[in-house]
Amino acid sequence: MRTTPRRLILGAVSLAAVGGLAFACRTTDTKGGGALAGDAASKVYVSPGKHDEFYAFLSGGYNGQIGVYGLPSGRLLKFASVFSQNPETGYGYNEETKPMLQTSYGFIPWDDLHHPELSQTDGVPDGRWLFANGVNTPRVARFDLATMETTEILEIPNTAGQHASAFTTPDTKYIVAATRFSVPTPNADVAIDSYKQNFKGTLTFISANEPGKMDIAFQILMPGYNFDLGHSGKGPSDGWFFFSSYNSEQAYTKLEINASQNDKDYVVAVNYRQAEQCVAQGKARTAPGVYLHNHMDEKSHQARSERKTGTRMLAPADCAGVAYLLPTPKSPHGVDVDPTGEYIVAGGKLATVIPVHSFSKMQQAIANKQFDGDVQGIPVLKYDATLAGEVQKPGLGPLHTEFDGKGNAYTSMFISSEIVKWKLGTWEVLDRIPVYYTVGHLMIPGGDSKQPWGKYLVSMNKITKDRYLPTGPELSQSAQLIDISGEKMKMLLDFPTIGEPHYAQALPAELIKDKQVKFYRLSENTHPGAVKAEAEGGITRNGKTVSIKMAAIRSHFAPDNIEGVQVGDTVLFHVTNIEQDWDIVHGFAVLGAENSELIISPGATRTLKWTPKTTGVYPFYCTDFCSALHQEMSGYIRVSPAGSNVPLKANTSPKAASQMARLNDIRTPAQTAGAGGQ
């Protein structure tokens, strides 16, 4: 979404540039400040020590992470690792979390994270997990909302540029994934101009409701279109999933022009209960495909990677009624289902209207066989037969729609750079507000669910330009908070975000704030390198591998003097934070280690792998300012030549032991408050 829209602005639709400039030239008054500024400020002001009303989870886009923000303040609370290594936590660097980033292509420390999606119960976000997709190396992740950590990643075989993901069914039985870039399926060395014969898209249904057991339930083989986004039905349309697609032309070069020829592309309606039945009846074939399932075990604090092969692939021609094509103008991007489950709103990014399909009309049209032929066994429904209405003159470049639960819809207009509010059923435009600049996704807490908390709307904009103090050629990302509680939308706040947010999700803080895990129970830690007390620390050699078990506790490591390591050894520092206090985190870093630090949560164990290359004495230290004696939290490891007879030894230093005895209770005031509070 980064390149194409920019091209749109600069090239084909020069209107955008004009529009953008026009906005840029306006005075601050019309930018949503001015007379309203005082009022707006009080609406987003969260006074010191107070908490925000909502947690918001914004995708980090090409940084592969999730930003956790508070709303309405827009304050960044956490930058959480999902598909990318993060030196701030050691995720993807330490031995325990490295398996999370394994794929069938090898270790991939990065991805392009697009669409966070909250788990749901009966169509309403339930505060258990957040799912998200990696576009480049097709993956989906489960992010636990009690620990705010990624606990599971599943690779999606037989797909590429996995974009229509990680959207959930109302019961979280499945999350979905679909191909954005069709590829030979199974992938093979074929001529690119054999696209029409050989290239296919797939729609993947992933069982998601059991933590640690995510797996591919089945895949549906589709024509070689580009599948863009998806949302499940709900209420009357429960059991259906809707995907948008573009490139019904099946172009494979210069897509900008060649995939924009047809007046209409398709929304695909999938009856996934029908698919389940066909699979149960043995109508799916086994497709090859290798994929990895990575899971973090909460007790051993270690992730494991499991290699799997083969999926159940269903061809629509073998399963009547599983899929229908709904013609939709023009190159649709978003596809969003309203809270009642009746309306399916498409974002025809090159269309002049916002087309809305009706689920009940679709059912009738299927019953009456109002078809315009079929594509590879998938019936094409007549446009007029499923159309509920069109929002006329909504603006330019409709992309995504969310709902407030009061009968209104809000659509992001990329090219005309505004949010447009319109009424479901009458299709009249009620209000519009400019956003700065060129909005991609928008988000209302619960706005894609059965029960939106329709108070705020976040506009996630693609172009930042003059919104903040400039920071060189690359500017911060621009999000804006809009009050949607009244008839007219009101701009409340600009807040910068990290990475390029695509979709986001939010929910009331009460749903999850009291469920936050404060520390991991040391008594339940089954990591083989863990220590439960300082006395359990020690050192062992096995051939050229030296393992050190070490405890970290305010304000020392035990042991903290290590000798007998030789050049050519691989040293494994297993460091356990034996604290059982909230937010008392320790770090661990060694001079010259070709890796990030370890950051160890209370009760957890993390392992740093180090291969010293030269002799000498190397200090190690705690990187997280943990107490008044944090600067003292350090130690030495001596490295001798290969074959040396320096004996292996690891001591708890007398100094550290006495410090421990006398000063264990010295804490900074903030930590005392943190440990004792709540």
Binding of residue 1 to ligand RUQ (CB under 6 A): yes
Do 485 and 455 contact (CB within 8 A), yes or no?
yes
CB of 622 to ligand CUA, least distance (A): 3
- H or E element, residue 663: helix 654-663
Binding mask 630-649 for ligand CUA (x = CB under 6 A): x--x----------------
Binding of residue 349 to ligand RUQ (CB under 6 A): no
Binding of residue 667 to ligand CUA (CB under 6 A): no
When CB distances are held under 5 to 8 angstroms depending on the partner's kind, the choice from ligand CUA, ligand RUQ, none that residue 586 binds is: ligand CUA
Residue choice 220, 284, 303, 399 for contact with ligand RUQ (CB under 6 A): 399
Binding of residue 139 to ligand RUQ (CB under 6 A): no
Binding of residue 107 to ligand CUA (CB under 6 A): no
202 has which bridge partners?
A: 221
Q: Segment contacting ligand CUA (CB under 6 A): 340-348, 528-536, 540-548, 617-625?
A: 617-625
Backbone angles phi, psi at 384, to 5 degrees: -65, -25
When CB distances are held under 5 to 8 angstroms depending on the partner's kind, the choice from ligand RUQ, ligand CUA, none that residue 114 binds is: ligand RUQ
Backbone angles phi, psi at 214, to 5 degrees: -60, 135
Binding of residue 604 to ligand CUA (CB under 6 A): no
Binding of residue 450 to ligand RUQ (CB under 6 A): no
Strands (E), 240-284: 240-246, 264-271
Residue choice 441, 450, 467, 638 for contact with ligand RUQ (CB under 6 A): 441
- H or E element, residue 439: strand 439-443
Count of residues near ligand RUQ by CB under 6 A: 10
- Pairwise CA distance, residues 346 & 352, whole Å: 12
When CB distances are held under 5 to 8 angstroms depending on the partner's kind, the choice from ligand RUQ, ligand CUA, none that residue 625 binds is: ligand CUA
- H or E element, residue 23: helix 15-25
Cα–Cα nearest to 445, from 173, 43, 65, 72 = 72
Binding of residue 560 to ligand CUA (CB under 6 A): no
Binding of residue 606 to ligand CUA (CB under 6 A): no
Read off the DSSP letter of residue 424. T
- H or E element, residue 605: strand 605-610
Q: Segment contacting ligand CUA (CB under 6 A): 269-277, 305-313, 445-453, 623-631?
A: 623-631
Q: Between 467 and 630, whose beta carbon lies closer to ligand CUA?
A: 630
Do 65 and 577 contact (CB within 8 A), yes or no?
no
Do 65 and 467 contact (CB within 8 A), yes or no?
no
386 has which bridge partners?
A: none
Do 52 and 75 contact (CB within 8 A), yes or no?
yes
When CB distances are held under 5 to 8 angstroms depending on the partner's kind, the choice from ligand RUQ, ligand CUA, none that residue 622 binds is: ligand CUA
CB of 268 to ligand RUQ, least distance (A): 17
Q: Name the residue number minimizing CB distance to ligand RUQ.
A: 440
Q: Between 69 and 620, whose beta carbon lies closer to ligand RUQ?
A: 69
Q: Between 115 and 139, whose beta carbon lies closer to ligand RUQ?
A: 115
- Pairwise CA distance, residues 428 & 450, whole Å: 22
Binding of residue 113 to ligand RUQ (CB under 6 A): no
Could you write out the three-class secondary structure of 449-514?
CCCCCCCEEEEEECCCCCCCCCECECCCEEEEEEECCCCCCEEEEEEEECCCCCCEEEEEHHHCHH
Count of residues near ligand CUA by CB under 6 A: 7
- Pairwise CA distance, residues 114 & 1, whole Å: 10
In the region spanning residues 311 to 340, those forming contacts with ligand RUQ, defined by CB under 6 A, are 333
Binding of residue 132 to ligand RUQ (CB under 6 A): no
- Between CA 136 and CA 144, with CA 138 as vertex, the angle to 5 degrees is 110
Query: How crowded is the C-beta side of 648, counted as CA atoms within 13 Å?
Result: 17
CB of 624 to ligand CUA, least distance (A): 5
Rg of the chain, C-alpha, whole Å: 27
Residue choice 130, 132, 622, 650 for contact with ligand CUA (CB under 6 A): 622
In the region spanning residues 92 to 111, those forming contacts with ligand RUQ, defined by CB under 6 A, are none
Q: Between 433 and 633, whose beta carbon lies closer to ligand CUA?
A: 633
- Pairwise CA distance, residues 478 & 9, whole Å: 18
When CB distances are held under 5 to 8 angstroms depending on the partner's kind, the choice from ligand RUQ, ligand CUA, none that residue 163 binds is: ligand RUQ
Binding of residue 624 to ligand CUA (CB under 6 A): yes
Residues 6 or more apart whose CB falls under 8 angstroms from that of 293 comprise 152, 153, 154, 155, 214, 215, 305, 306, 308
Binding of residue 504 to ligand CUA (CB under 6 A): no
CB of 266 to ligand RUQ, least distance (A): 18
CB of 573 to ligand RUQ, least distance (A): 40
In the region spanning residues 421 to 440, those forming contacts with ligand RUQ, defined by CB under 6 A, are 440
Binding of residue 586 to ligand CUA (CB under 6 A): yes
Which structure tokens are listed for 105?
Answer: 């292509």
Q: Segment contacting ligand CUA (CB under 6 A): 92-100, 511-519, 620-628, 646-654?
A: 620-628
When CB distances are held under 5 to 8 angstroms depending on the partner's kind, the choice from ligand RUQ, ligand CUA, none that residue 635 binds is: none
Strands (E), 47-188: 54-59, 65-71, 75-81, 102-103, 106-107, 117-121, 124-134, 139-144, 149-155, 174-178, 183-184
Binding of residue 161 to ligand RUQ (CB under 6 A): no
Q: Segment contacting ligand CUA (CB under 6 A): 25-33, 286-294, 568-576, 621-629?
A: 621-629
CB of 591 to ligand CUA, least distance (A): 17
In the region spanning residues 491 to 530, those forming contacts with ligand RUQ, defined by CB under 6 A, are 502
- Pairwise CA distance, residues 415 & 431, whole Å: 17
Cα–Cα nearest to 459, from 429, 492, 430 = 492
Which structure tokens are listed for 572?
Answer: 């494994």
Cα–Cα nearest to 602, from 624, 619, 634 = 624
Which structure tokens are listed for 126?
Answer: 């339930």
Q: Segment contacting ligand CUA (CB under 6 A): 12-20, 46-54, 276-284, 618-626?
A: 618-626
- The residues binding ligand RUQ (CB under 6 A) are 1, 114-115, 163, 333, 399-400, 440-441, 502
- The residues binding ligand CUA (CB under 6 A) are 586, 622, 624-626, 630, 633
